[in-house]
Amino acid sequence: MSTAQHPNLHSSKLRNELLLSLIVLGVLAIMPLMVHSPYWLGVLIVSMYFAILSSGWNLLAGYAGQFSLAPAAFAMLGGYSTGLLSYHLKAPIWIGLPMSIIIPGIIGLVLGRIVLRLSGAYLALTTLSFAEIIRLVIYNSIGFTRGDQGLNVPTLFDSRLGYYYVFLAALIAVVGVVYCVLRMPMGRFLQAIRDDEIGAASRGVDVVRYKTVAFFISCAICGFAGGLYGTFASLVSPELGLIAQTGLVIAMVVIGGMGTLVGPLIGAMLVYTASEFLRDVGGIQMIVFAALVIIFARFFREGLWGLLRRSLLRRSVAASKGV
């Protein structure tokens, strides 16, 4: 019996994942006490950017079962929403940053209504095509977006420590939003759609509506991640939307634990930090992470969080038998 069919099991599992998420976030909150290097603070900030992006994608793919290949494209749209408003209209950051949520969310809502009647490989290929079209339009619209030269974005702080805690606050907010969505009946409907779309429709679940709402929330979160990253890097470029960025997000979620609240946090922190250590070895990061995705998808479907949970359960059972 799935957690979508058993509300008490769903709530208990979600509470446990929220508790572990809070522990991870608590560890991140005290990391600046131990990490004083500006470089490694930057690495942790970018890790939190990917954690936000991964949490948004996981809501759609992990919980609703809709495998989009456009999370990086929506992050790019969020970054350009903030950057273009500042560049062309001189809009202040307090206007530009909310627009990085609204504009990608609206585009995601429209796209969702078009593509979410598709499924499986057709959905993945359609979203991949959309992502590449958007990236190439931005790349070639030199007069409007400055093309591959990139677009300057106003910054929020000069201090990396300030940015660190802004990203941490944003990550906490995103985890809170995803948790609230999953706590609502919508959360169980999404998992029912993921497990058996035809069965969910036969029980009266408005499948297209809930998939579209999930797509909207996911795109808005990804756009927010891109807008915030743009202010940190003080630059957005078409590279934000490369398919390799989406591949990294998928690797993070699968390795951390797909369809879990805490998996994207664990995966993003470990994968991006590991990629920094592998940078000196040569361009083999994606080879290593692709191999890990294959291994985890084949043998450890719940990722690192699933392995940890099973280990704790075995210890609990062993302890109770010992008593």
DSSP string across 143-210: HHH-GGG-EE---S-S-HHHHHHHHHHHHHHHHHHHHHHHHSHHHHHHHHHHH-HHHHHHTT--HHHH
pTM summary value: 0.92
Q: What is the CATH number of the domain that holds 254?
A: 1.10.3470
Residue with the larger pLDDT of the pair 313 and 61: 61
Domain that holds residue 44: 7-322
What letter does residue 258 receive in the DSSP assignment? T
Task: Tell whether 2 is covered by a domain.
Answer: no
Q: What percent of the chain has pLDDT over 90?
A: 65
pLDDT in tens, 8-53: 656 778 888 999 999 999 999 999 999 889 999 999 999 999 999 9
Residue with the larger pLDDT of the pair 36 and 320: 36
Task: Tell whether 101 is covered by a domain.
Answer: yes
Torsion of CA 244, 246, 249, 251, to 10 degrees: -60
pLDDT given at position 314: 74
Written as six digits, the tokens of 265 are 């946090």
Residue 197 reports pLDDT greater than 50: yes
Residue 282 reports pLDDT greater than 80: no
- Rounded average pLDDT over 251-276: 92
288 pLDDT band (50/70/90 cuts)? confident
Written as six digits, the tokens of 270 are 């470990």
Q: Which residues of 229-250 are buried (b: 16+ CB within 10 A; e: fewer)?
A: bbbbbebbbbebbbeebbbbbb
pLDDT in tens, 147-192: 989 999 989 888 899 999 999 999 999 999 999 999 999 999 999 9
Task: Give the separation between CA 278 and CA 285, rounded to whole angstroms.
Answer: 6
254 close to 293: Cβ distance less than 8 angstroms: yes
- Rounded average pLDDT over 238-248: 92
72 pLDDT band (50/70/90 cuts)? very high
Domain count of the chain? Answer: 1
pLDDT given at position 277: 81
Q: What does pLDDT average to over the chain?
A: 89
Task: Tell whether 62 is covered by a domain.
Answer: yes
1 pLDDT band (50/70/90 cuts)? very low
Residue 4 reports pLDDT greater than 80: no
Task: Tell whether 1 is covered by a domain.
Answer: no
